[in-house]
Structure 1
Amino acid sequence: PEGSTVGPGDLLMFWNNEGTVNVQLPSGRVLYYPHAVIKKKMNQYDYDNQISYRHGPLWGGSLTENIVQAVARDLLVHWILKAEEFGLPVALHIYDEILAVSSTIYAEDNLKTLMNIMRTGPEWTNGLPLAAEGEISKTYKK
């Protein structure tokens, strides 16, 4: 697609496609905003590249929140798939948490493996500081 890129390293791309605003995330996944358009600067009172729905503008804060949550989701999915590749059965995930089931004998090693997985991201996260901490528990704790 041809569109406008933004951010350090042009990590996000925006474009219109038949009445839908598309936002390509660093992972390559696309967010879709149907019935929206990107408006270019018309005069001194209009914002440059404002995204508007037919019912009004999409505020920058809302768009930023959507993008941040989508990137976090892409990263969580990456970690879950990696954990399963390493034989860690993921039982539950909540926001930025992953809970895996392990026998007591392998619990320490499995926790270390999961922490290493969660401190490493896919290529598109280069430069993004990632950290993780975890614990072994017989029950779920927040």
Structure 2
Amino acid sequence: MNLQEDELLHLVQRWRNVNINIKNFWYNVGNAALETVSKQKPMRVGKITFEYYDNYLFIKLPSGRKLSYFNPMLKRNIYGKESLTYEGIATNKKWQRIETYGPKLVENIVQGISRDILAHAMMNLKRRNFKIVMHVHDEVVLEVKKNQVTVEEICEIITIPPPYAEDLCLKAEAYKCDFYKKE
């Protein structure tokens, strides 16, 4: 975007001020993870539960599925603040200690919940005998006979919320074609 480094900080601050609930959620998640590891007692942020046992930090999603972080430890980061680290495969493809923080944990949580919602949609389709050819990130590709079903009917099926999120308002878009393509 051809922005200078000093321009970015102002934009980031403005975005955070406008999206205060997101910012607060980042901090609440980060603090819950730190406290769970330090006190080894469960914590809760909304519908997300943090647990520590058997040398793992577990983040329990609303579906009941858990994200796991092996051998979590608290360390001082480069800014002198307490930080959460865990062991895993880093970007260099080697096993090492990785530092994380609230916004990154929220990203993991959002991706996990998104996966769970997609899996629920796929199960709904499978129960109705649709042939799922593949799924890509947030898409499901079906093979159906011509004029067997409308895209509106497909959207209706895949936007049925899971039981653990009955109030979740889901929306889907679909298209039909003779071969797979990115819309």
Is the structural similarity TM-score above 0.5? Answer: yes
CA deviation profile, 1:23-82 (whole Å, cap 9, x unmatched)? 10000001110011479xxxxx756xx633363642112211111111111111111111
Q: TM-score, normalised by structure 1?
A: 0.80
Larger radius of gyration: 2
Q: 1:128 aligns with which of 157, 168, 175?
A: 168
2:174 and 2:147 mapped to 1: Cα distance?
17
Q: What is the distance in 2 between the residues matched to 1:91 and 1:134?
A: 15
Say which SS state the counterpart of residue 129 (structure 1) adopts: coil
- Give ranges in structure 1 of 5+ residues lacking alignment: 40-44
User: TM-score, structure 2 length as denominator?
Assistant: 0.63
Residue type at the aligned position of 1:22 = F
Q: Which has the higher helix share?
A: 2
Post-superposition, which runs of at least 4 consecutive aligned residues in structure 1 deviate over 6 A?
A: none
Secondary structure in 2 matching 1:100: strand
Q: 1:24 aligns with which of 57, 60, 69?
A: 60
Aligned Cα root-mean-square deviation (Å): 2.1
- How many equivalent pairs are there? 129
Note if contact 2:84-2:99 (Cα within 8 Å) is conserved in structure 1.
yes
What 5-or-longer segments of structure 2 have no aligned partner?
Answer: 1-40, 88-96
Partners in 1 of 2:74 and 2:125 — Cα distance? 39
